[in-house]
């Protein structure tokens, strides 16, 4: 796609608050009227900060992300595949029970007991696999996220490896770490078809934690309280909320969400377990301002960037649609390899329209491509071309 078509396409995509017109990208119409109050479990969030795709799908507006080092909990996106459980489950948090399997001494532990095993804090990006889906040219099913299915979050909890050690170590032959969500499964439905249960390669145990605090406060129900599996560097779906079972397993979960969903394959092909699963995130960045217009003269072009599973090396910004690039400056402290970093380039913009783009590179040497290959479900889009914005000055 050349720059001209990109510019044209983006005119359809980005509104003044960085919102996406779903109809323009062939997505479903906005399911909930923006003037309706948010559902109870997320009523503590401000609807003005979000693009409301449905009661279970809230996207943070691009402009709201700004240069935030940490995403405040009330601004963090929401994605629930099933209705969130009742808030009864956070009434007595320490009494929440988790079954631990695939270890020397399997059994049930309470959250109160987990807190005595160990504690660690990690900052990492939480990002849905489909973030950037709206920017693909082909028709995709699923939420038409632009950039707002992502945030940078501080998680506190016990390292998974400490829990496994305390329970007698990994059982022989196990290859995956499998987490099961605690939602109620509607009567009559086979759990495999809808239960959120994800398996990640056992190696991810090195950085995974069972988190009870988010941004320094008890985990909100909406984000998985009382306990959530957090796998830093891995896509959102692997970060199982309302965790009720953690197991080291020989095989991947038999559930649909593992076997056929979240599989990367060519357009038109169905999902199957032989295809790559949405595990490790890729290097990515996007501009969060200015998005539509700016005054002539000095301007701070800013955004956020993440390295995926490796730390960031650099971010470059272009004000001419990628013909030339300049090094951006990181803002604030480095919060570790899994965190995002806000960046800024102070530059001059003359009157006219400018295509502003950003391109991140991590220490492993991975750089964002101009265009990310299309895939059936529209996963993993980190192409810098489609994430660019055209800004009118004057
Ligand atoms: N139990 C459970 N865990 C879940 C989900 C879910 O529906 N149920 N959704 C997953 C998906 S697809 C994403 S992108 C993230 C969203 O996390 P958030 O709502 O806290 O932003 O949670 C993941 N973990
Ligand atoms: Mo997701």
Class of residue 2 by CB neighbours under 10 A (exposed 0-12, middle 13-18, buried 19+):
exposed
Among 331, 279, 326, 324, smallest CA distance to 305 is for 331
302 φ/ψ sector (left φ>0, alpha ψ -120 to 50, else beta): beta
Residue 229 has pLDDT above 70, yes or no: yes
Task: Measure 131 CA to ligand 1 centroid, in angstroms.
Answer: 13
Q: Quick check: bond before 176 cis, omega within 30?
A: no
| Closest approach atom of ligand 1 to CA 78 | 19
CA pair distance 142, 383, nearest whole angstrom: 19
How do residues 186-200 score in pLDDT, each as one tens digit? 999 999 999 999 999
In this structure, are residues 288 and 278 in contact, taking their beta carbons and an 8 Å threshold? Answer: no
CA pair distance 350, 328, nearest whole angstrom: 19
Ligand 1 within 6 A of CB of 76: yes
Ligand 1 within 6 A of CB of 263: no
Closest ligand (CA of 126): 1
CA pair distance 170, 250, nearest whole angstrom: 11
How do residues 232-278 score in pLDDT, each as one tens digit? 999 999 999 999 999 999 999 999 999 999 999 999 999 999 999 99
How do residues 97-111 score in pLDDT, each as one tens digit? 999 999 999 999 999
> Among all chains, which residue has been given the structure tokens 């629930």?
80
Instruction: Show the tokens assigned to 270.
Output: 């169905």
User: Does the 78-259 domain belong in CATH 3.90.420.10?
Assistant: yes
CATH architecture label of 9-68+281-393: Sandwich (2.60)
Task: Measure 149 CA to ligand 1 centroid, in angstroms.
Answer: 11
Phi, psi of 260 (to 5 degrees): -125, -25
Domain boundaries along the sequence of the chain: 9-68+281-393, 78-259
Instruction: Show the tokens assigned to 254.
Output: 């038999």
The pTM (predicted TM-score) of the whole model is: 0.93
In this structure, are residues 247 and 102 in contact, taking their beta carbons and an 8 Å threshold? Answer: yes
Residue 17 has pLDDT above 90, yes or no: no
Residue 18 has pLDDT above 70, yes or no: no
């Amino acid at each position: 796609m050349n720059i001209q078509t990109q510019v044209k396409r983006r005119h359809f995509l980005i509104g003044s608050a960085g919102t996406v017109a779903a109809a323009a990208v062939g997505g479903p119409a906005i399911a909930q009227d923006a003037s309706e109050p948010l559902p109870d479990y997320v009523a503590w969030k401000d609807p003005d900060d979000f693009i409301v795709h449905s009661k279970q799908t809230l996207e943070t507006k691009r402009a709201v992300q700004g240069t935030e080092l940490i995403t405040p909990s009330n601004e963090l996106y929401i994605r629930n595949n099933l209705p969130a459980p009742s808030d009864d489950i956070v009434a007595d948090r320490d009494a929440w029970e988790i079954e631990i399997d695939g270890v020397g001494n399997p059994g049930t532990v309470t959250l109160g007991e987990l807190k005595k095993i160990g504690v660690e804090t990690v900052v990492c990006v939480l990002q849905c696999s489909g973030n950037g889906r709206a920017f693909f040219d082909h028709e995709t099913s699923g939420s038409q996220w632009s950039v707002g299915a992502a945030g940078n979050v501080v998680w506190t909890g016990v390292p998974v490896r400490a829990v496994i050690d305390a329970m007698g170590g990994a059982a022989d032959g196990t290859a995956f770490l499998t987490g099961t969500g605690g939602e109620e499964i509607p009567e009559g439905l086979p759990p495999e078809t809808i239960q959120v249960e994800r398996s990640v390669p056992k190696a991810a145990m090195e950085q995974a934690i069972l988190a009870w605090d988010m941004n320094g406060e008890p985990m909100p129900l909406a984000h998985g309280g009382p306990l959530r599996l957090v796998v830093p560097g891995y896509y959102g779906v692997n970060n199982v909320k309302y965790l009720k079972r953690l197991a080291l397993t020989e095989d991947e979960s038999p559930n649909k969400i593992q076997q056929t969903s979240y599989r990367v394959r060519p357009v038109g092909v169905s999902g199957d377990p032989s295809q790559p699963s949405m595990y490790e995130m890729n290097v990515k960045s996007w501009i969060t301002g200015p998005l539509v217009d700016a005054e002539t003269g000095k301007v701070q072009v800013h955004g956020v960037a993440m390295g995926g599973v490796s730390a960031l090396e650099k971010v470059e910004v272009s004000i001419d649609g990628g013909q030339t690039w300049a090094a951006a400056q990181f803002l604030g402290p480095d919060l570790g390899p899994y965190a995002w970093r806000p960046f800024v380039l102070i530059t001059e913009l003359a009157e006219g329209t400018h295509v502003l783009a950003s391109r991140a590179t991590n220490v492993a040497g991975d750089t964002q491509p101009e265009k990310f290959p299309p895939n059936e479900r529209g996963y993993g889009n980190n192409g810098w071309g489609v994430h660019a914005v055209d800004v009118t000055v004057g």
